Amino acid sequence: MLPSQTQRVLMLFAVIIGTVAWWWLGGFLPPSDGLHGWSLFDASTGKAPAVGLLLLTALPALLAASFVAVSGNPISGVFCVALAGTIAHHGNGFAGVARRAADSGGQSALFPQLAVELILGIALLALLLLGLQAARRLWVQRVPLRLRSRHLGEQLDLLKLDQKSLTAGLVTAAIGAVLSAGLLRNEDPQQVAGGLVLAFSLAALIGHAVSPNHRPFASLIAPAVVGIVGYAWAWQSLRGTAENDALLGALYGNELPGLAMGLPLHYLTAGVLGCTIGIGIGQLVEKAKLAEG
């Protein structure tokens, strides 16, 4: 079911609140060297405070997304958070992170650090789904009927993994990796974000068509898994290279794998955004088939 007019207004407000929260976070974390692009590991506040600020920022976005998830499709809450992050940090590119790592002589540790950041992102995504699921259980009966619609039953186990959800996640990751590798041709942040949205929209749609299910966790973490694979690929390609400028040479010489062009923030916002779009379209197609049959 498509969101009602009221639910669309709620989604708009959730996106605005989430964008402001993400933008506020971006004002604290980027290093003061003037280079575009940052990750939690080179945040100006340090690693631990950066994680704390990230969790603090997540609260207003989570509250807004929770009301959206309660009133309609629970995936719409994830959609709002991911869209807000994509909008707020559309200019965050890989080149600044790469130059910072090269200048400090830390290029060998860059990709392992980015992979760890994605693993942390998977944990935060699980917390987001737990929060949305808890909100549905606590608030769904308190929301006026005109503001909510039943979506595949009132209670959904968003984090549970079974054969169907794992199959959909594997298909999403495999197709998303192939498409992303072809679409991510340089480190331009807008190009990276757009490529990830397109790649994982198609990948998640195909994954849901191959294995229809109502447990989206495996599909939603597919972008992060693909990003980890891309970082491992890039790390292996640069392994044993002693020159400090080898990373920049590979970046500007188009020798770096396309999957390594995206930062963790790209995979966890634009990539997840694409997955929610693909899953949502897949659910609409599934519901239409059930109505016909």
Per-residue model confidence (pLDDT) at position 183: 94
Mean pLDDT within 66-94: 84
Query: In angstroms, how far is CA 40 from the centroid of its own chain?
Result: 15
Question: What is the pTM (predicted TM-score) of this model?
Answer: 0.89
pLDDT tens readout for residues 260-287? 999 999 999 999 999 999 999 998 888 7
Burial 201-232 (b: 16+ CB within 10 A, else e): bbbbbbbbeebbbbbbbbbbbbbbbbbbbbbb
pLDDT tens readout for residues 213-248? 888 999 999 999 999 999 999 998 887 665 667 888
Per-residue model confidence (pLDDT) at position 251: 83
More confident site: 203 or 5: 203
- Our CA dihedral for 222, 67, 18, 191, rounded to 10 degrees, sits at 40
Per-residue model confidence (pLDDT) at position 1: 53
Q: Indicate if the pLDDT at residue 97 is higher than 90.
A: no
Mean pLDDT within 184-193: 90
Q: pLDDT exceeding 90 applies to what percent of the chain?
A: 39
